[in-house]
Amino acid sequence: MMFRPRGKRSFPLWTGWVAWRIIDSMPHDHHDHDHAHAVLPPDPALRVKAIETILTQKGLIDPAALDEIIDTYENRIGPKNGALVVARAWTDPEFRAALLDDATSVVAELGFYGRQGEHITAVENTPEQHNMVVCTLCSCYPWPLLGIPPSWYKSDAYRARAVREPRKVLAEFGVALPEGTKVRVWDSTAEMRYLVIPMRPEGTEGLSEEDLIPWVTRDSMVGTGLPGRPE
Amino acid sequence: MTRVHDMGGRFGDGPVAPAPEPVFKQEWHARALAVTLAAGALGQWNLDTSRHSRERLSPSDYARFSYFEKWISALADLLEEHGVVTRAELAAGQGDGASPLASRALKADQVAGALARGGPADRPVASGPRFAPGDGVRTRRPARNAFVPGGHTRLPAYAAGAVGRILHHHGGHVLPDANAHGLGEAPEHLYTVVFDAAELWGTAERAGDEVTCDLWESYLEPA
């Protein structure tokens, strides 16, 4: 799904809350009242705030820990990790062979491991086979290598269509595959996370690992893009 | 039989719209992620329970909620179901006294360690694998949880009753169908199964294209 744009807030947060309590006292069918979340305010920012407030007051979360989690995924873990792995695979045949054999151990040695990346498989694109990754059931994604998944990866359209019509989806990313290339779509239905190793672009023969890193885009490591010359 | 989250192969969703964006498009997205992870660190439920809590949102809520709305709404449900907060506290927006679980709260200096540890799902399995790479298999049909009606499973509906072949054996992994429902980890051998696209969809977008799923041994029988 795409996130709904929200208008500029012109009232204090608590006015929304009060309005919700009044509306909630009237009959309506917008919420499933078997679920506890239905008693929360409908505005998602207020929902988060309410839960954070309650849990903080009960001593169950430390706001400083929340800041630390956010900083980790906003600034420290992201596609640059995966790009290093790919650039090294392009330039170091022994590394590439070890990566394809046991990616979990190999990327762990580079410091890339942990939540949503406990088990990693690297799949290599070739002229014969293009690999593409999806999670149709939720949004499984290799966090330690690529960070938090982008909106399109979590969207209904991608989850629904990537398995049935990957070539049409690829076209929407501007990717057209040669006629003879097979597509294999990896649906991440277990705790195995997939990293696509794209083909090294032609014309990069003389470049070092460091030079190649900026060629490796996030989407190329999900299989919805191809690496390209950095702008 | 199936739930709304199980959307692989569905028609009608329109184009995928990739666009440049920051890691967190809105500040509350970041807070939703952090609160969910920190609440999970209290140890009152596991990853499979957490996934199932999002799948159990009503179809209308699941369809209209944005991604992180699903997370926080499912989190509220989990917090109440596991007795961490009361519905009265959720309704009031105020916590009513300190929790006995407060000593388990994740501290800032524990975050890096907790994220690095993650939650590995590989486990020893006493018996040997039933299948080897290259073996033909047929998946369970319908896709369902064999323990709990309407329960959590990781066999997508589009791959139910399909014939494929074992590509990889990954060793033993926690069985989500059991673990999501408090029935223990019940580890089983996990396999990557590759399907011909025409087997799944009737007609492949292009002949020879393939789809893989990672499936547990009890989802499979010899074919």
Q: How far apart, in whole angstroms, are the C-alpha atoms of residue A3 and residue A177?
A: 30
Structural domains of chain A in order of their starting residue, each with its CATH number: 14-24+34-61 (no CATH), 78-222 (3.90.330.10)
**Residues belonging to chain B:** 223
Q: How far apart are CA B81 and CA A140, in angstroms?
A: 25
The answer to whether residues B167 and B207 belong to one domain is yes
CATH number for the domain harbouring residue B102? 1.10.472.20
Residue B98 CA to its chain's centroid (Å): 31
* CATH number of B187's domain: 2.30.30.50
Q: Give the DSSP H/E element, type plus range, for residue B165.
A: strand B163-173
* Whether A138 is catalytic: yes
Residues B214, B191 contacting (CB under 8 angstroms): yes
Please name every residue paired with A122 in a beta bridge, in sequence order, or none if there are none. Answer: A195
Q: Answer yes or no: do A190 and B94 touch at CB < 8 A.
A: no
Minimum Cα–Cα distance from A165: chain B residue:
B205
| Distance separating the N- and C-terminal Cα atoms of chain A | 29
Quick: pLDDT tens for B131-179: 999 999 999 999 999 999 999 999 999 999 999 999 999 999 999 999 9
**Rg (Cα) of chain B, in Å, rounded?**
20
Residue B69 three-state SS: helix
Residue B4: inside a domain, yes or no? no
Looking at the DSSP assignment, which residues form a beta bridge with residue A119? A192
Catalytic, A140? Answer: yes
Q: Does B79 reside within a domain?
A: yes
Residues β-bridged to residue B189:
B172
pLDDT of residue A29: 34
* Residues in chain A, overall count: 231
Q: Chain-centre distance of CA A32, in angstroms?
A: 29
One domain for residues B141 and B112: no
- Distance set, CA A4 to CA A16, A43, B67 (Å): 17, 11, 11
| b (16+ CB within 10 A) / e for B110-145 | ebeebbeebeebbeebeeebbbeeebebbbbeebbb
Q: What is the pLDDT of residue A32?
A: 42
A118 by Cβ neighbours in 10 Å (0-12 / 13-18 / 19+) ranks as: buried
Mean pLDDT for all residues in chain B: 96
Number of domains into which chain B is organized: 2
Predicted local distance difference test score (pLDDT) of residue B164: 98
Count A/B contacts: CB-CB distance under 8 Å: 328
- Does residue B90 surpass a pLDDT of 70? yes
Contacts of B207 by beta carbon, 8 Å cutoff, 6+ apart: B198
Are B151 and B108 part of one and the same domain?
A: no
Percent of chain B residues topping a pLDDT of 70:
100
Q: Does residue B129 sit within a domain?
A: no
The answer to whether the predicted template modeling score (pTM) of the entire model surpasses 0.90 is yes
Question: Mind listing the pLDDT tens digit of every residue in chain A (231 residues)?
Answer: 344 444 444 445 555 555 555 544 443 333 344 789 999 989 999 999 999 999 999 999 999 999 999 999 999 999 999 999 999 999 999 999 999 999 999 999 999 999 999 999 999 999 999 999 999 999 999 999 999 999 999 999 999 999 999 999 999 999 999 989 999 999 999 999 999 999 999 999 999 999 999 999 999 999 999 999 998
Angle in degrees, CA A84, B211, B61, rounded to 5:
90
Residue A95 contacts B where some CB pair is shorter than 8 Å: no
Best of A73, A77, A112, A137 to mutate (most B CBs within 10 Å, chain B) = A137
Beta-carbon contacts of B145 under 8 Å, excluding residues fewer than 6 positions away, are B151, B152, B153, B177, B181
Nearest to B59 by CA among B100, B4, B98, B112: B4
The pLDDT of residue B114: 95
Any domain includes B131: no
Residue B172 contacts residue B123 (beta carbons within 8 Å): yes
Cβ-defined contact of B111 to A69 (cutoff 8 Å): yes
The complex's ipTM works out to 0.97
- Both B147 and B188 in one domain: the answer is yes
Q: Which of residues 8-67 of A touch B (CB under 8 A)?
A: 17, 31-32, 35-37, 39-41, 44-45, 47-62, 64-67
B110 and B142 both lie in a single domain: no
Cβ contact A3–B67 (<8 Å): yes
Q: What pLDDT was estimated at residue B2?
A: 74
Residues B176 and B100 in one domain: no
Q: State mean pLDDT over B19-23.
A: 95
* B171 located within any domain: yes
Q: Which residues contact A190 (CB under 8 A, 6 or more apart)?
A: B121, B154, B170, B173, B176, B190, B214, B215, B216
Q: CB distance B28–A45 less than 8 Å? A: yes
Q: Are residues B61 and B90 in the same domain?
A: yes
Task: Report how far apart, in Å, the C-alpha atoms of A143 and of each of A1, A128, B3 are.
Answer: 20, 28, 26
Half-sphere exposure of A166 (CA within 13 A, CB side): 30
C-alpha closest to that of A187 among B156, B196, B121: B156
Give residue A31's pLDDT.
Answer: 38
Angle between helices B27-40 and A63-71 (to 10 degrees): 110
- Give the chain B residue nearest A140 (alpha carbons): B51
Angle B27-40/B47-55 helices, nearest 10 degrees? 130
Q: Write down which residue in B117, B144, B162 finishes a domain.
A: B117
**For a pLDDT cut of 90, what percent of chain B falls above it?**
98
Q: Are residues B111 and B154 both part of a single domain? A: no
Residue with tokens 């190793």: A197
- The alpha carbon torsion through A76, A193, A160, B211 (nearest 10 deg) reads 150
pLDDT-derived band at B55, boundaries 50, 70, 90: very high
The range of the structural domain enclosing residue B208 comes to 136-222
Using alpha carbons, select from B116, B34, B114 the residue that is nearest to residue B75: B34
Rg of chain A over Cα atoms, rounded to whole angstroms, equals 22
Note the pLDDT of residue A14: 53
Average pLDDT value for residue range B36-65: 96
Q: Is residue B8 assigned to a domain?
A: no
Q: What is the mean pLDDT of residues B24-51?
A: 97
Torsion over CA of B98, B102, B106 and B109, rounded to 10 degrees? 90
> Is A10 noted as a catalytic residue in this protein?
no
